[in-house]
Amino acid sequence: MRAIVLLVLLGMALSLSAAPAPLPRRDRTDKPTLDGEWKAIEDRGRGQGRMKPENFTMTIRGTRLTLRMQEGPMTMEVDAQVTTGTGPYPRTIDVRIIRARVGGNDAPLPADERTTLGLYTLEGNRLTMGMGSAGRPKSLDDKTADVMVFERVRR
């Protein structure tokens, strides 16, 4: 009888030891995503003759960014690759322009204007981006940065 009980216990131990370990839970709270469609709601930029913020929309999918601007008959579209930093906000963001079009025609860009360095913060569905014209801005309050505030329209 002891032999049978030992065999049953041994069989149960072997079957339980062969079960796979449960997968760890993914924690999404630590990794907010920029993916989605964004509408500009505020322009804190410098300079005169800028377009109204409501004329800007931006779509981000992974590392691809498309920025569209339209004011009256004039349209401009920029396709870019985005690299974002990690850690506390404000985080770094690098935008490398792949293609620019004005009125549907390709617009050549000088090599030194293809990459723009900046900072961003994401608070819920509000994205604040500050891009520097001469290097990365020191903060989003930096007077040398072009800062725009976007609100997420949809993911």
Q: How many structural domains does the chain have?
A: 1
Q: Is residue 120 part of a domain?
A: yes
pLDDT, tens digit, 9 for 90 and up, residues 7-25: 666 666 666 665 667 777 7
Residues of the domain holding 57: 33-154
What mean pLDDT value characterizes the chain?
Answer: 82
Q: Is residue 101 part of a domain?
A: yes
Q: Is residue 3 part of a domain?
A: no
pLDDT, tens digit, 9 for 90 and up, residues 74-102: 888 999 999 999 889 999 999 999 999 98
Sort 155 into a burial class: Cβ within 10 Å, 0-12 / 13-18 / 19+: exposed
Q: Is residue 133 part of a domain?
A: yes
CATH of the domain at 52: 2.40.128
Q: Model's pTM, two decimal places?
A: 0.72
As a whole number, mean pLDDT of residues 94-116 equals: 86
From residue 53, give the alpha-carbon distance in Å to each of 18, 48, 69, 102, 114.
59, 13, 9, 18, 22
Q: Is residue 7 part of a domain?
A: no
Q: Is residue 10 part of a domain?
A: no
